[in-house]
Amino acid sequence: MEAVLAKYENQINAFSEFLEDLPDVDEPVWILGACYDLKTKKSELLSDVRSRLWFTYRKKFSPIGGTGPSSDAGWGCMLRCGQMILAQALVCRHLGRDWRWDPEKRQPKEYHRILHCFLDKKDSCYSIHQMAQMGVGEGKSVGEWYGPNTVAQVLKKLALFDDWNTLAVYVSMDNTVVIEDISKMGRKPEMEKKTSGESSPTSPLTPHLQSQRPLDWRPLLLVIPLRMGINSINPVYIQAFKECFKMPQSCGVLGGKPNLAYYFIGFIDDELIYLDPHTTQQAVDTESGSAVDDQSYHCQRTPHRMKITSLDPSVALVRAQITCSNAFMGFFCKSEEDFDSWCDLVQQELLKKRNLRMFELVEKHPSHWPPFVPPTKPEVQTTGAEFIESPDKLFESEEEFEILNV
């Protein structure tokens, strides 16, 4: 009984600390598209924040690649933030934005399946193991700190092997989101085969082409690398940055600097609210398909805040482009209608206001760019990662694993 009381006491203390830490201002708080009045909705705000899946450093998991590190402390913070932004998309995909985590209530099976995707095991499709080894193909050694662009590319590739979520991950190039390319990504592979030889659908915003659009849309995680300055954030982008958190499609922002990455989920006045992965916890050991002890995957402590102007926009040179920042912004569109709505919001709230032009949204693929080819699952793996086709399907034998890793 004492242990139970201590558990509740710790939760109450964490709740009180959260409320006391929030500033006494009249400004609303925005969390991933949801708005809260601090004077009347503090408890709802806390419930929303602690319902986000929180991934941190872990220790004592199985060595990555069999002989690699068994902890990501000191180098995995950007990967953990990548997991958080992707997990938010999956929660919206299966549970909806209004879903809330309650430690005293039984959670839906989809929730546990999502959590299993991120466990620190080689056979979890978005585990630290999969991400670190996929990064080898992006020029990163296991145990090396990743920049945001590398994390975005890793997530895009890993999503190809996730047949349960069927998520399309689009990473914009040169600060430009191309609607025509996203329309192509909306097609599932079987749709591509059925429509081969037909002209590709163009902008979802073009009414007279509605009938030509694919009927089977894949849920979309839209990733936009941010370019907001050189040595410090240009103040002209701050309002646009805040407006993006107000969009219902917002999945937050991954940002920071070497060895110091954060997952930003909202703002209050001129401060950003974020989840911090820099806590080292014991790896959770669980059998495949079983329920996970999920207390450590939800942050119930005081939320961290920082001034928006403190965000580091340092330049990162990437092959064929400059992504300029160690940050990227994510949006989740479950349906084409959702994507259409996002396009309308961007046009009205950002692009038509000259001082809010943080990125471009164009209908047609630029003629001077290389042709856009929707990514497909490769037949042979060369990164050494042990991929699975779905969160709960493992390799049939050790021989199958060895063949894929030759």
Cβ atoms of residues 374 and 259 within 8 Å: no
DSSP state of 145: P
- Catalytic member of 48, 77, 120, 251: 77
Coil, strand or helix at 287: coil
208 is catalytic: no
Distance CA 68, CA 46 (A): 38
Q: Which two tokens stand for residue 185?
A: 């990504």
Q: Which two tokens stand for residue 366?
A: 């630029």
Provide the phi-psi class of 148: left if phi over 0, else alpha when psi is between -120 and 50, else beta: alpha
CA triple 115-116-121, angle to 5 deg? 125
392 is catalytic: no
Cβ atoms of residues 277 and 262 within 8 Å: yes
278 is catalytic: yes
256 C-beta neighbours (distance < 10 Å), count? 24
Beta bridge partners of 59: 71, 282
Distance CA 139, CA 394 (A): 27
Task: Fill in the amino acid letter for 184.
Answer: K
- Catalytic member of 48, 72, 181, 276: 276
- Catalytic member of 278, 304, 312, 340: 278
Radius of gyration of the chain (CA): 21
Nearest to 148, CA basis, from 217, 223, 218: 223
Q: Which two tokens stand for residue 244?
A: 């993006």
Catalytic positions, please? 77, 276, 278
